Structure 1
Amino acid sequence: MSINKYWILKAKQLNNAATPDELSELSLLSACMDADTRVDNGLHNIWHAQSYTSNELDRERWMMLLSARVPEISLQQPEVLSVKTRRSRKLVFLISLIIISLLTAGGALFFHFIRPVPAHEISAIRGTKTRATLPDGSVVNLNAGSRLLYQNDYGQKERHLLLSGEAFFDVSRIPDVPFAVTTGNITLRAYGSSSFNLCAYPEDNNISASLTEGCIQLIYMQPQGNTSVVLQSGQKIILHKDPQHPGMYQAQWSQIKHSAGEIQESAWKDNMLVVENERFEHLATRLERWYDVKIIFNNSLLRQLTFSSVSKGKNVQEMLSVLSRNSGKFSYIYNPTAKTVTIYAK
Structure 2
Amino acid sequence: MQTQDERYLWLLSRKLSGSITEDENKELESLAGAEPRLRKESEAMQAFWAHGAGGQHNDGTQQAFEQLKARMYAEDPQLWPEEEKRSGGGKWRRLLLRSAAAAVLLGGATYLLAKTGILPWQDGLTADYNVRGTRSHIKLADGTSVWLNSDSELKYPRRFKGGSREVYLKGEAFFDVAKDAEKPFVVHTETMHVNVLGTSFNIRAYPEDSVCEATLITGEVMVELKNSPEKKIRLRPAEKLVVPNHGDSAVKYPTGLQPVIMKPTYSLKADSAIIETAWVDNRLIFQDETFATLASRMERWYNVSIRFENAAIQQLRFTGIFGKEQLPQALQALQLTEHFNYSITDDTVTIY
Q: 1:285 to 1:154 in 2, by over 3 A?
A: same
Tell me which amino acid in the other structure corresponds to 1:128: T
CA distance in 2, matches of 1:240, 1:227: 15
CA distance in 1, matches of 2:335, 2:161: 47
CA distance in 2, matches of 1:318, 1:251: 37
Q: 1:118 to 1:284 in 2, by over 3 A?
A: farther
In structure 2, the residue matched to 1:291 is: 302
CA distance in 2, matches of 1:311, 1:287: 10
In structure 2, the residue matched to 1:150 is: 156
Contact 1:123–1:130 (CA under 8 A) maintained in structure 2: no
Contact 1:135–1:155 (CA under 8 A) maintained in structure 2: no
Tell me which amino acid in the other structure corresponds to 2:281: D
Runs of 4 or more above 6 Å deviation: none
State the shift of 1:254 in Å.
Answer: 0.9
Q: Which one of 332, 336, 342 corresponds to residue 342 of structure 2? A: 332
Which aligned pairs between 1:202-241 and structure 2 lie closer than 5 A?
202-221=207-226, 226-241=230-245
Structure in which a larger fraction of residues adopt strand: 1
Contact 1:180–1:189 (CA under 8 A) maintained in structure 2: yes
Count of matched residue pairs: 228
In structure 2, the residue matched to 1:252 is: 260
TM-score by length of 1: 0.61
State the shift of 1:252 in Å.
Answer: 1.8
Q: Which has the higher contact order (CA 8 A, sep 6+)?
A: 1
Residue-by-residue CA offset, 1:14-65 (whole Å, 9 max, x unaligned):
xxxxxxx79x959xxxxxxxxxxxxxxxxxxxxxxxxxxxxxxxxxxxxxxx
CA distance in 2, matches of 1:182, 1:343: 36
In structure 1, the residue matched to 2:146 is: 140
CA distance in 2, matches of 1:203, 1:188: 20
Residue-by-residue CA offset, 1:105-158 (whole Å, 9 max, x unaligned):
xxxxxxxxxx96143112211111111111111111111100000124425532
Q: How much is the aligned-residue C-alpha RMSD, in angstroms?
A: 2.6
What secondary structure sits across from 1:303 in the alignment? helix
Contact 2:193–2:226 (CA under 8 A) maintained in structure 1: no
Which aligned pairs between 1:107-186 and structure 2 lie closer than 5 A?
117-154=123-160, 157-186=163-192
What secondary structure sits across from 1:132 in the alignment? strand
What secondary structure sits across from 1:258 in the alignment? coil
Structure 1: gaps (5+ residues) = 1-20, 27-114
State the shift of 1:230 in Å.
Answer: 0.5
Structure 2: gaps (5+ residues) = 1-46, 53-120, 250-256
State the shift of 1:316 in Å.
Answer: 1.8
TM-score by length of 2: 0.60
CA distance in 2, matches of 1:231, 1:251: 12
Tell me which amino acid in the other structure corresponds to 1:332: Y
Q: Check if 1:308 corresponds to 2:319.
A: yes
Q: Check if 1:277 corresponds to 2:288.
A: yes
